């Protein structure tokens, strides 16, 4: 295709400027320490660093750990941090206080939550999941199913209600991601949860690609259990701990398979037998990673004056404009993310035969996205620190990459794509 005409670019630039003015109140770029000249479109893998977080972490290291030492568990509230930070995340996912705890990884949180769900639905022999879910979710489901002698039924989220109608009495739990990690498609959390409950099954959702970017409303939709990571749209930093949501109505029956001392009713009694703590604290396991946990707590300050609903409105405008600009400037690529705003999460995915090379060539031009199999370019839109003008630049850089064949120079793949 020939280079984009000046009038098309000018029209898109005017539109981008108008949209940026419309959404100026939710622009938080000044809070982030992003490199000059970089358009960062990988916040769906690792959220950007906020400027104030290094000072918070430095204080934790030098004063709390360095000077106050072990007294910081009491003096600086380290012991209560998993539930304190959990309540802050709870506000972002629509959970009333006392239902979210932070610690460990998403994989561990999912293992614990599904293990507890299987105990709560003992006697049921089936777990339903999406074969296109993030691999760690599939691995955890397969491992627990093998351990318990259960059958795993796979179905696309749109097909799950039909599967439940046919096998519902046998289903212990439905385990799904709220958004497809490849395409960004948003699934029907309320409807699927209702369908699970109609058969007596539990609904367990992975919110890793929506927490902090999309309103979830866990309590409103009677979700049973949920997990999610802290390092994507919550901007908690690499390896930031995950969170676990356990609805109040299930907490007394929630018995995760790994029973750690932090989840004990009297952890400092040092008793030989385990007794679960009351409330969501029973989802704790061992000593939490305090540096990462407190960095995440600081990062959540972003949402003190920015609601998830406002983030979502900005995100939909940004992703909608990105889809529009791609269609106008790079029509030969295939956008696999839904155009329908109600079905779109917060990233836009483009299919291309040389997608890995496209991603690497874009990075060389200062536009950072990532690659996923099979042949997908993911452009993550973390709304608080992106503008419509930046997304137009990303699209124009993509046009230049393809016109100049720069994507063909990148054949050797790195470990992290």
CA distance 265 to 76: 22
Residue given tokens 């009491």 in the structure block:
74
Residue 252's CB is within 10 A of a number of other CB atoms, namely 11
> Which pLDDT score, from 0 to 100, does residue 2 have?
44
Instruction: Map tokens 């795993």 to a residue.
Output: 152
Q: Does the annotation count 232 as an active-site position?
A: yes
List the catalytic residue out of 378, 385, 393, 399.
378
Per-residue pLDDT at 168: 79
Token pair of 233 as six digits: 């749209």
pLDDT, one tens digit for every residue, the chain (417 residues): 445 688 999 999 999 999 999 999 999 999 999 999 999 999 999 999 999 999 999 999 999 999 999 999 999 999 999 999 999 999 999 999 999 999 999 999 999 999 999 999 999 999 999 999 999 999 999 999 999 999 999 999 999 999 999 987 999 999 999 999 999 999 999 999 999 999 999 999 999 999 999 999 999 999 999 999 999 999 999 999 999 999 999 999 999 999 999 999 999 999 999 999 999 999 999 999 999 999 999 999 999 999 999 999 999 999 999 999 999 999 999 999 999 999 999 999 999 999 999 999 999 999 999 999 999 999 999 999 999 999 999 999 999 999 999 999 877 788 887
Length of the chain: 417
Dig out the tokens for 232 from the structure.
Answer: 């994507």
Fold of 54-304: 3.40.640
Catalytic residue among 104, 137, 206, 370: 206
Residue keyed to tokens 């046009």: 399
Cα gap 5→327, rounded to integer Å? 14
Q: Which of 124, 232, 393, 399 is catalytic?
A: 232
Max alpha carbon distance in the chain (Å)? Answer: 75
> Among residues 218, 212, 270, which one has the least CA distance to residue 242?
212
pLDDT for residue 258: 98
Output the pTM of the full model.
Answer: 0.96
- 287-316, pLDDT tens digit by residue? 999 999 999 999 999 999 999 999 999 999
Active site residue 231: yes
Catalytic residue among 40, 231, 276, 321: 231
Q: Is 203 helix (H, G, I), strand (E, B) or coil?
A: strand
Out of 32, 40, 111, 134, which one is annotated catalytic? 134
Q: Where are the alpha helices (H) located in 72-182, listed in sequence order?
A: 72-75, 81-93, 106-120, 135-148, 160-167
139 is catalytic: no
* Domain ranges in the chain with CATH number 3.90.1150.10: 6-31+307-409
Give the ranges where 280-387 is alpha helix by DSSP (H). 290-299, 308-329, 355-364
Whole-angstrom distance, CA of residue 178 vs CA of residue 228? 10
Architecture of the 6-31+307-409 domain: Alpha-Beta Complex (3.90)
Q: How deeply is 181 buried, as exposed, middle or buried, from its count of CB atoms within 10 A (0-12, 13-18, 19+)?
A: buried
Q: For position 41, what pLDDT does the model report? A: 98
> Catalytic annotation on 378?
yes
Structure tokens at 369: 């996205």
The whole-angstrom separation of Cα 238 and Cα 232 is 9
- Could you give phi then psi for residue 154, rounded to 5 degrees? -105, 140
User: What is the pLDDT, as a whole number, of residue 3?
Assistant: 53
In the chain, which residues fall in CATH 3.40.640.10? 54-304
CB–CB of 405/411 below 8 Å?
no
How far is 347 from 328, CA to CA, in rounded Å? 18
3-state secondary structure of 292: helix
């Amino acid at each position: 295709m020939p280079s984009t005409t000046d009038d098309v670019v000018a029209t898109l630039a005017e539109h981008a400027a108008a949209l940026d003015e419309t959404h100026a109140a939710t622009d938080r770029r000044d809070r982030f320490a992003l490199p000059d000249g970089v358009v960062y479109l990988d916040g769906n893998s690792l959220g950007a660093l906020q400027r104030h977080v290094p000072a918070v972490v430095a204080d934790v290291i030098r004063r709390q750990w360095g000077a106050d030492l072990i007294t910081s568990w009491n003096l600086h509230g380290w012991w209560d941090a998993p539930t304190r930070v959990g309540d802050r995340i709870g506000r972002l996912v629509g959970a009333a206080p006392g239902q979210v705890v932070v610690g460990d990884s998403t994989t561990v949180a999912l293992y614990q939550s599904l293990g507890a769900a299987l105990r709560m639905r003992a006697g049921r022999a089936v777990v339903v999941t999406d074969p296109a879910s993030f691999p760690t979710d599939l691995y955890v489901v397969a491992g627990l199913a093998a351990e318990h002698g259960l059958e795993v039924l796979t179905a696309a989220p749109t097909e799950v209600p039909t599967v439940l109608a046919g096998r519902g009495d046998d289903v212990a739990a439905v385990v799904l991601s709220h958004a497809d990690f490849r395409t960004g498609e948003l699934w029907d959390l309320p409807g699927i949860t209702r369908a699970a409950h109609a058969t007596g099954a539990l609904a367990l959702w992975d919110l890793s690609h929506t927490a902090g970017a999309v309103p979830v409303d866990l309590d409103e939709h009677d979700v049973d259990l949920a997990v999610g990571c802290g390092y994507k749209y919550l901007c908690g930093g690499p390896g930031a701990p995950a969170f676990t949501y356990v609805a109040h109505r299930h907490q007394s029956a929630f018995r995760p398979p790994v029973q750690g001392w932090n989840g004990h009713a009297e952890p400092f009694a040092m008793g030989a037998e385990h007794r679960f703590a009351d409330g969501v604290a029973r989802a704790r396991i061992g000593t939490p990673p305090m540096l990462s946990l407190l960095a995440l707590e600081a990062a959540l300050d972003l949402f003190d004056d920015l609601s998830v609903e406002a983030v979502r409105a900005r995100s939909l405008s940004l992703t909608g404009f990105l889809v529009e600009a791609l269609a106008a400037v790079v029509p030969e690529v295939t956008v696999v993310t839904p155009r329908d705003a109600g079905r779109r999460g917060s990233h836009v995915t483009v299919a291309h035969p040389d997608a890995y090379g496209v991603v690497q060539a874009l990075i060389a031009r200062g536009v950072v996205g990532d690659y996923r199999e099979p042949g997908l370019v993911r452009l993550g839109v973390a709304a608080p620190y992106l503008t419509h003008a930046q997304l137009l630049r990303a699209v124009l850089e993509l046009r230049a990459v393809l016109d100049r064949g720069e994507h063909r120079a990148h054949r050797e793949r790195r470990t992290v794509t």
